[in-house]
Amino acid sequence: MQNVVAREFAFRAEGEVSLGSRVSWQGTWAGTITTLAGATILFALSLAIIALAMHPTVGSLRGATIAAWICMMACIVVASFFGGLVASRVRGSPRMRVGLLHGFITWGLTFVLGMLFSALFMRGLLVGLINALPDVMTATPTAPADPELMDEGRSALHYLIGFGWSWFGTWFLSLLAALVGAAVGVRRMRRLLEPEVEVERSSEIPPITPLTPAPSA
């Protein structure tokens, strides 16, 4: 009985505290590490499978690149679900708003760290584009256009557009996955608490009824 009262008092006190002060950075960092580690190991497995199916041709290399990009997006979404789940479970709060808040913060930390890692990997591409800008700026507008260069530029533009929209869609879906994982963690926490409350309530001592007087002789 005392455990039930203490738990209900803790939940009531948690509801009176502001939402921002209930953030557990231990839970959010645990969810972030889970997301990054899960995405990395899944992507490594995807690269190993793709490498086994590759052939030393240009078409095979292009298909492997597209497959690796799709696998990376899927790995981020799947790992975000488990990151939100871990964040909400480590926090241990049965309130849905608190769990969703931890899922969102976990996604935000993962997004910032992912952008930093992506910037490091794309530094070479950006340097190449910057070095190519002077040649484009100094080109004479009256020079005849090369059809092959125009086709390559059009293909590069299509790849750039696809990259931008797919990258946006990946992180948007990962946000939804993190929130769903956090909600699942909160619901599992509630299911774990409900049997304990029922058992403790059933073990309460029944009220003592007054004793009836003994019959007189």
pLDDT range class, residue 83, cuts 50, 70, 90: very high
pLDDT at 39: 94
Mean pLDDT of 94-106: 91
**Nearest-angstrom CA–CA distance, 1 and 80:** 39
Q: Give the Cα separation of 15 and 59 in Å (integer).
A: 59
**Chain-centre distance for alpha carbon 139:** 46
Q: Which CB contacts under 8 angstroms, 24+ apart, belong to 22-29? A: 22/93, 22/98, 22/101, 23/101, 23/102, 23/105, 24/90, 24/91, 24/102, 26/90, 27/86, 27/87, 27/88, 27/89, 27/90, 27/91, 27/102, 27/106, 28/87, 28/102, 28/105, 28/106, 28/109, 29/109
Which one has a higher pLDDT value, 36 or 210?
Answer: 36
**Cα separation of 86 and 64, whole Å?**
32
pTM of the predicted model over 0.85: no
Please compute the mean of the pLDDT values over residues 95-103 and round it to a whole number.
91
* 125-184 residue pLDDT tens: 556 555 555 554 454 444 455 555 556 666 667 777 878 888 899 999 999 999 999 999
Where do the domains of the chain lie?
24-136+151-201
The dihedral built from the CA positions of residue 63, 69, 70 and 72, taken in this order, carries a sign that is: positive
The residue ranking higher by pLDDT, 38 or 9, is: 38
**Average pLDDT in the chain:** 75
Q: Which residue has the higher pLDDT, 84 or 153?
A: 84
pLDDT top residue among 198 and 188: 188
57, 145, 187 from 142: Cα distances, Å: 37, 9, 67
Tell me the C-alpha distance between 86 and 181, whole Å. 8
CA distance 21 to 78: 29
Which one is predicted more confidently, 143 or 41? 41
Q: What is the mean pLDDT of residues 205-216?
A: 55
